[in-house]
Amino acid sequence: MNWLSQVVAVTGVTLRSIPQRLGSATVAVIGIAGVVIVFTAVLSIAEGFRAAMMGTGDPQTVIVLRAGSDTEMTSGFSDEHVKLISEAPGIEQGPNGPHASPELFVIVGHPLKRSGTDANVPLRGVSVGALQVRPGLKIVEGRMFQPGTNEIIVGRAASRQFAGLSVGTSVRWGEGSWQVVGIFDTGGSVAESEIWSDAKVLQPAYRRGNSYQSVYLRLDSPDSLQKLKDALTIDPRLNVTVIREPDYYQQQSRVLQSIIRTIGFAIAALMGLGAVFGAVNTMYSAVASRTREIATLRALGFGRSPVVVSVLIESLVLSLVGGAIGGLLAWAAFDGYQTATMNWQSFSQVAFAFAVTPALLMRGLIYAAVMGLVGGLLPAIRAARLPVVTALREL
C-alpha cells in the first residue's frame, strides 16, 4: 500500500471512531466554537464600523478643510474663502453654478434611546448644493427642509439611535426649537448618523457669524482632483487641505478601529491559547483511549506518518466543526445588530451595525483550523511513538 492510501485508510478508521468518544469530542468542539464566537463577534464590531465609515466613499466628492485640520470640527472658513474655493476649476457645474456645499459641523447634546442620557449628536448645517455633492442620498420619508427655516432632516440611523427624532416631532436644543420634516438614507454610511439643517440657520444658533467649517465639492470627473488641488494651493489667499471623501472617512475611523482591533485580537489570541490547551487534552485522551487500536494498525504494517496525519485530521475536523458552529452562532446573534458609539476623532456619535462578513467567517474558520492543528500536534506525535508491543497489551 502506498503512503496516501495508508493515510486514507487510517484516517477513515479514526474518524469513524469519533462517535465512540462523543463526549470528549463534543467538549473540544464546544471549546473551539466558543473562541470563534468571541473572535467573530469582536471583529464584527470593527468590521461594521469600517463599513459605515467607508460606505461614505464617493471618490468623486472631495472635502476642503483648513490646512492643518484633520477633522471638520476644528476647521473653519470665512464667506470669502468659500467663494474662492467654489470658483476653482475641476468642479462639476449645474444650472445654478458649481456643485458645492459649504457646511458647518457641530454637535448637539441629545439623548440616546438606549440609555436616555445625552450624547454628542453630530449636527450638520448644509447649503443648497448638499444633495448635488452627495448623489447617493435619498429622502426616504417626509421631505427636504425648507431653506431659511428651523426645519431639520435626520439620518435613518440617527432616528433609530437617538430619542424623539421621527417626522412630525419637534426638538428643543437650548433656546431654539426645530421641526423634523424628513428622514434620509445614504446606504448605511456615517452620514446617516447626522442631523441636517440649513447652514444659514445654524450659523447664528452656534454664533458662527458668516463662517463655515468645510466645503464639499463634486468633481467634474474622478481625475480632476489634482487640477483642483493645484488651483487651491497656488492661491495665496487660501490655506487648505483637499481630500477625497473616502480618504477623509478612513482617517476619521483610524483611532477607534485600532482600539477595537487591538483589544479584539488580544482577546482572541489569549482565548485561542486557552482553547489549544483544551484541544491538547482532548486529543491526548482520544489517543489514549485508542491506544490498542492504533497499536493494532501499526502491527498490521501501517507506518508512523499516516497515524500522525490521521490524528491531525481528526483534530482539524473537530475544530472546523467547532469553527463553523461558532461562526454561525455569532452570525445569527450579532450580524446587523444596530448600535452607536463615540468616534473619538470627530467627538461625536456614529451609528453602525455589527457586520459578520463572509471574509470574517472565513478568518474564524482558518483560526479554528490553526487551533486544531496546533492542539493536535503533540498528541499525534505521541500516537506515532506508541511502542506497539506494550500498547497491544494494554486494556
Partner 1 sequence: MKYLPLVWRNLMRRKIRTIFTILSILIAFVLFGALMAIRAAFSLGVEVAGADRLMMIHKVSIIQLLPKSYSERIRATEGVTDLSHANWFGAYYQDPNTGFFANMAVDPESWLRMYPEYVVPDDQKKTWLANRSGAIIGIDTARKFKWKVGDRIPLISPIYRKPDGTPWEFTVDGIYDSPLKGADKTQFFFHWEYLNETFRNSGYFNGQVGWYVFRVADPATSDVLAKRIDVMFANSPAETKTATEKAFVSDFAKQIGDIGAIMMAIAAIVMFFILFVAGNAMSQSIRERTNELGVLKTLGFGDGQVLSLVLLESCVIAIVGGGLGLLIAWVIVAQGDPTNGMLPSFIFPVRDLVVGMALVLALGLGTGLLPAFQASRLKIVDALRRTG
Query: Given the rule CB under 8 A, which residues bind partner 1?
Result: 24, 27-28, 30-31, 33-35, 37-38, 41-42, 68-71, 73-74, 106-109, 112, 114-115, 117-120, 173-175, 205-207, 255, 258-259, 262-263, 266-267, 270-271, 273-275, 277-278, 280-282, 284-285, 339-342, 344, 347, 349, 378, 395
Q: Tell me the three state secondary structure of residue 71.
A: coil
**Is 93 or 239 the residue whose CB approaches partner 1 more closely?**
239
Distance CA 360, CA 211 (A): 44
Q: Tell me the three state secondary structure of residue 211.
A: coil
Query: How far apart are CB 278 and partner 1 at their closest, in Å?
Result: 4
Contacts 24+ apart (CB under 8 A), 331-334: 331/40, 331/356, 331/361, 333/37, 333/41, 334/40, 334/41, 334/44
**Is 280 or 307 the residue whose CB approaches partner 1 more closely?**
280
Q: Cα-flanking dihedrals φ and ψ of residue 130, to 5°?
A: -55, -40
**Is 35 or 361 the residue whose CB approaches partner 1 more closely?**
35
Query: How far apart are CB 349 and partner 1 at their closest, in Å?
Result: 7
DSSP per residue, 228-239: HHHHHHH-TT--
Query: How far apart are CB 90 and partner 1 at their closest, in Å?
Result: 27
Exposed/middle/buried for 301, CB within 10 Å: 0-12, 13-18, 19+?
A: exposed
Query: How far apart are CB 46 and partner 1 at their closest, in Å?
Result: 13
**Is 96 or 115 the residue whose CB approaches partner 1 more closely?**
115
**Is 30 or 144 the residue whose CB approaches partner 1 more closely?**
30
Distance CA 158, CA 271 (A): 35
Query: How far apart are CB 100 and partner 1 at their closest, in Å?
Result: 23
Query: How far apart are CB 27 and partner 1 at their closest, in Å?
Result: 5
Helices H / strands E in the chain, number of each: 13, 14
Query: How far apart are CB 282 and partner 1 at their closest, in Å?
Result: 8
**Is 246 or 284 the residue whose CB approaches partner 1 more closely?**
284
Report the DSSP pairing between strands 214-218 and 348-353: unpaired
Buried (b) or exposed (e) across 51-61, using 16+ Cβ within 10 A? bbbebbbbebb
**Is 114 or 143 the residue whose CB approaches partner 1 more closely?**
114
Query: How far apart are CB 338 and partner 1 at their closest, in Å?
Result: 11
Query: How far apart are CB 302 and partner 1 at their closest, in Å?
Result: 25
Query: How far apart are CB 352 and partner 1 at their closest, in Å?
Result: 10
**Is 147 or 173 the residue whose CB approaches partner 1 more closely?**
173
Q: Cα-flanking dihedrals φ and ψ of residue 244, to 5°?
A: -70, 145
DSSP per residue, 337-348: -EEEEEETTTTE
**Is 300 or 332 the residue whose CB approaches partner 1 more closely?**
332
Contacts 24+ apart (CB under 8 A), 252-256: 252/53, 252/71, 252/190, 252/343, 252/345, 252/346, 253/49, 253/50, 253/53, 253/54, 253/343, 253/345, 254/345, 255/344, 255/345, 256/49, 256/341, 256/343, 256/344, 256/345
Distance CA 136, CA 122 (A): 19
**Is 2 or 115 the residue whose CB approaches partner 1 more closely?**
115
